[in-house]
Structure 1
Amino acid sequence: MNPVRFGANYVPSSGWFHSWLDFSADAARRDLADLAGLGLDHVRVFPIWPWIQPNRTLIRRRGIDDLLTLIDVAAEFDLSVSVDLLQGHLSSFDFLPSWILTHHGRSLFADPGVRQGIAAYAAALSAAVAEKPNVFAITLGNEVNNLWPANATTPEISRQWAAELIGTVREHAPRLLALHSLYDATWYDPGHPFHPADNTDLGDLTTVHSWVFNGVSAVDGPLGPATVTHADYLVELAAATSTDPARQVWLQEVGAPRPDIGADEAAPFTRALLESVGANPALWGVTWWCSHDLDRSLADFPDREYDLGLFTVEHEAKPAAKELAAYLASARRTAAPEPRPALVCDVDLRTQPERRGEVAPGSDFHSEWVRLRQAGPVAIVAAARAADLDHLRARGVKL
Structure 2
Amino acid sequence: MPESHPIRFGANYVPSAGWFHSWLDPAPDVWRRDFEDLAGIGLDHVRVFPVWPWIQPNRALIRERGVEDLLTLIDVAAEFGLDVSVDLLQGHLSSFDFLPSWVLTWHERSLFTDRDVRDGIAAYAERLSRAVASRDNVFAITLGNEVNNLWPSNPTTPEASRSWAAELIDVVRGAAPGLLALHSLYDATWYGPEHPFHPADNVDLGDLTTVHSWVFNGVSAIDGPLGPATVTHADYLVELAASTALDPARPVWLQEIGVPLPDVPEPDAAEFVRRTLTGALENPALWGVTWWCSHDLDRSLLDYPEREYDLGLFTVEHDPKPAAKELAAIAAEARRTAGDPAAAAPRPGLLCPVDLRAEPERRAEVAPGSAFHADWVRLRQAGPVAIVAAGRAGDAHYLRTRGIDAVHTQA
Amino acid of the structure 2 residue aligned with 1:258 = L
Residue 227 of structure 2 corresponds to residue 220 of structure 1? no
Q: What does residue 409 of structure 2 align with?
A: none
The correspondence of residues 354-373 of structure 1 with structure 2, limited to 5 A, is 354-373=361-380
TM-score by length of 2: 0.96
User: 2:64 aligned with 1:57, yes or no?
Assistant: no
Decide which of 17, 23, 39 is 2:26's aligned counterpart.
23
Question: How do residues 322-333 of structure 1 correspond to structure 2 at under 5 angstroms?
Answer: 322-332=325-335, 333=338
The equivalent position to 1:346 in structure 2, one of 346, 353, 358, is 353
Moved more, 217-226 or 336-345: 336-345
Partners of 2:234 and 2:196 in 1: CA distance: 23
Aligned to 1:137: 140
Counterpart for residue 249 of structure 2? 246
Task: Report the 3-state secondary structure (helix = DSSP H, G, I; strand = E; otherwise coil) of the residue aligned with 1:178.
Answer: strand
Alignment partner of 2:369: what SS?
coil
CA distance in 1: counterparts of 2:262 and 2:222, whole angstroms: 15
| 1:230 has 2:267 as partner | no
Q: Offset at 1:331?
A: 2.5
Structure 1 ranges of 4+ moved more than 4 A = none
Unpaired runs of 5+ residues, structure 2, are 407-411
Q: Structure 1 stretches of 5 or more lacking a match? A: none
Verify: 1:11 aligned to 2:14, yes or no: yes
d(CA) in 1 for partners of 2:211, 2:241: 8
Partner of 1:198: 201
Instruction: Report the 3-state secondary structure (helix = DSSP H, G, I; strand = E; otherwise coil) of the residue aligned with 1:181.
Output: coil
Query: Cα distance, 1:334 vs. partner?
Result: 2.2
CA contact (8 A) 2:88 2:141 kept: yes
Query: Which residue of 2 is the match for residue 286 of structure 1?
Result: 289
Look up the SS of the partner of 1:140 in the other structure.
Answer: strand
Q: CA deviation at 1:327?
A: 1.1
Shift of 1:89: 0.1
RMSD across aligned C-alpha pairs, in angstroms?
A: 0.6
Return the TM-score normalized by structure 1: 0.99
- Is 1:188 the counterpart of 2:191? The answer is yes
Q: How does 1:78-93 map to 2 (within 5 A)?
A: 78-93=81-96
Alignment partner of 1:334 is 2:339: yes
* Partner of residue 387, structure 1: 394
One-letter code aligned to 1:356:
R
- Quote how far apart the aligned CAs of 1:398 are: 1.4
What letter is aligned with 2:29?
A: D
Q: Tell me which of 42, 47, 51 is aligned to 2:50.
A: 47
Secondary structure at the aligned position of 1:384 is classed as coil
1:124 to partner: Cα distance: 0.1
Indicate conservation of the 8 Å contact 2:7/2:334, yes or no. no
Name 1:207's counterpart in structure 2. 210
CA-to-aligned-CA distance 1:232-277 (integer Å, 9 cap, x gap): 0000000000010010000000000000000101000000011000
Identity of aligned residues (%): 76
Match of residue 121 from structure 1: 124
Q: Secondary structure of 1:102's partner?
A: coil
Deviation at 1:317, TM superposition (A): 0.1
